[in-house]
Chains A and B, each alone.
Chain A
Amino acid sequence: MSVRGKQVVTSFIKSLLHKISFGTLFAKKKSVKLGLYGPPNGGKSTLANRITNDWLGEDMSSVSNVEHETREIIIREQIIIKGKKGKELSFNLVDTPGISTRIDYEDFMKKGMKRTEAKKRAKEATKGVIESIKWLDDMDSVVVVLDSTKDPYSQVNITIIGNLQARKIPVLIVANKIDLKRSNMELIKAAFPQYEVFGISAKYGTNIEEFYEKLIEFST
């Protein structure tokens, strides 16, 4: 059998074992791991803060207009959100560094950072991207946060969603920044027609109550 063939067989056996154990594990699981994934500056940390502020009364991540502000995985455990119909969802929220294919410290310098600081940020950002990818395997469900003012057909978006699909992890796509005039949620819907796309403004809380209802429905 070819090396590729062996890989396929190994992957199939792993997937089978995962499925067999999933039911018993999930029954014992008190809360699911919900990941926020996406490219840099889509609003993952703003959404994370919106969620923790609404349900715990505090921020969990720092936010910035400069890309790669989140450079480490940040976890907030035991968040419980309650829906209008009395349903509850308990989860551990995982805010991840934005995934990109290029990182250049000079881009940070253009935003006003000093060379040393920019180099440090770039170094940390590369590690953050690697961490985000490694953590994909640990997620129970994922909210992909996309900036609705940007072109959704980027290979990074396609790669993230393709990997979640390959791992059979439930995905909810959030079109963030719908408060902005340039926002185009329809373009995201057209790019990923097989997924439900939910429009919000994490910054201003637009549609956030509906988002929580959707999250409960999607994760339970």
Chain B
Amino acid sequence: MVTFQFVPFDSIAKLNSRKRVNKLLRIVKNNKIVILEGRLTPEEEAHLIERTMAEISHPRFSGIELGRIEYSQKYKGWDAVKHKLASMLVGERRGLTVIGPATIIDKIVNNPSQFQLFMK
């Protein structure tokens, strides 16, 4: 049985990058697919990959599959400034990020026209 765990952005907003990554990776290592509201920064994604590599231990954990659905609407004027400031301080809460164990997810196809999860 595949289990999805929704992670609201508020539950990671006050965490630093290391704690965010650790929290998400802990869920994935419990064989659950994380559906995160919002997205990680590129640096956090790189840190997630580093942590993943450090924790690979076959056959229990062979890595992750990662994908994100972008939010296409753009802010303008003052709203854009407010949004930029907010995303710098707490992170980007728009869009969705999917992180799952590679033992469950075969691949994620993520192009502008579709987002597909292929299970093993």
Contacts and interface: CB of A to CB of B under 8 A. Distances in A.
B66 interface: yes
Contact of A155 (B52, B67, B91): B67
A133 B50 CA distance: 7
Contacts of A163: 42-43, 45-46
B89 A4 contact: yes
Interface of B: 13-17, 41-43, 45-46, 49-50, 52-54, 56, 58, 62-68, 88-91, 102, 108-112
A101 B56 CA distance: 10
A129 B49 contact: yes
Contacts of A7: 16-17
Given A105-B58, A151-B109, A159-B42, A99 B49 contact: yes
Q: How large is the interface on A (under 10, 10 to 19, 20 to 34, 35 or more residues)?
A: 35 or more
A96 to B, nearest CB: 13
Nearest to A12: B88
Contacts of A106: 58
Given A4-B13, A4-B91, A103-B63, A126 B102 contact: no
A3 B89 CA distance: 9
B68 A155 contact: yes
A48 interface: no
A186 to B, nearest CB: 13
Contacts of B109: 151, 153
B89 A5 contact: yes
A127 to B, nearest CB: 7
A209 interface: no
12 contacts: A2-B89, A3-B15, A3-B16, A99-B49, A102-B102, A103-B56, A104-B102, A126-B56, A129-B50, A130-B54, A159-B42, A166-B42
